[in-house]
Amino acid sequence: MLSIAIDGPVGAGKSTVADEVARRLGILHLDTGAMYRAVGLAVAAAGIDVQDEQAVSALCRQGGAHVDVRYENGTQVTLVNGQDVTGSIRSQEAGTAASAVSRYAAVRRMLVKRQQELAQEQPMLLDGRDIGTVVLKDATVKIYLTASPEARARRRLNQLREKGQDADFGEILHEVNTRDHQDMTRAVDPLRQAEDAVVVDSSDLDFEQTVQAILRLVEAANG
Ligand code: DC
């Protein structure tokens, strides 16, 4: 079964690139970050402090943060406890909550299991932080999509400006470096490049060039 793992740091363009690569290959894309965000929302809705690992873990064990996905016309819909949270998980709060709860083994165990089940059912492309190293150790192809912190900060700055928001490059660069440090030094399943992953550095590539680079790697691995 074809399975594609894309990991990499924040701001490397993983989600949008992954979405487009999957679309061109005619397979589903599972955005695993959405699942961590959904748990973050469920924890907050239950009135639990995201820093309280014991309470968060207990909620997961008791099935109080049940995350699932379904696909509508090939697009991922993310559900938590049966409720569609596809829109609300994009908030800054959900991202912050996700970052906190993704440190906990109980949360990761629960989500990794569901991600593996989904990838067994159909050809899929998964993107996240631990796909090549934990979720799909036997993926057909593993890609580590990265870009220099400066390039990632510049893209983020441009995104914000397009939305009419002003931002400071230095501040954004600082945020990017902080998130990298957090993701790479966390005790459980930190972000790291799998030994058999191919690095795609998108610092000097535009969107289409990045998509093409990944498609070529998939083609080479999949014959
Ligand atoms: O990619 P994102 O911003 O939607 O991810 C949200 C958070 O979830 C982020 O802090 C990293 C974490 N995450 C993770 O630990 N493992 C994954 N496979 C995907 C995301």
* pLDDT tens digits, 125-139: 999 999 999 999 999
Domain residue extents for the chain: 1-27+124-223, 32-121
How many angstroms does the Cα of residue 82 sit away from the middle of ligand 1? 21
How many angstroms does the Cα of residue 90 sit away from the middle of ligand 1? 12
Q: Which fold has domain 1-27+124-223?
A: Rossmann fold (3.40.50)
Mean pLDDT confidence for 142-150? 97
Beta bridge partners of 77: 70
Domain 32-121 falls under CATH 3.40.50.300: yes
Amino acid 159: pLDDT: 87
* pLDDT tens digits, 84-108: 999 999 988 898 899 899 999 999 9
Amino acid 196: pLDDT: 96
How many angstroms does the Cα of residue 211 sit away from the middle of ligand 1? 21
1-27+124-223 and 32-121 have identical folds: yes
Residue located nearest, by CA, to atom 13 of ligand 1: 33
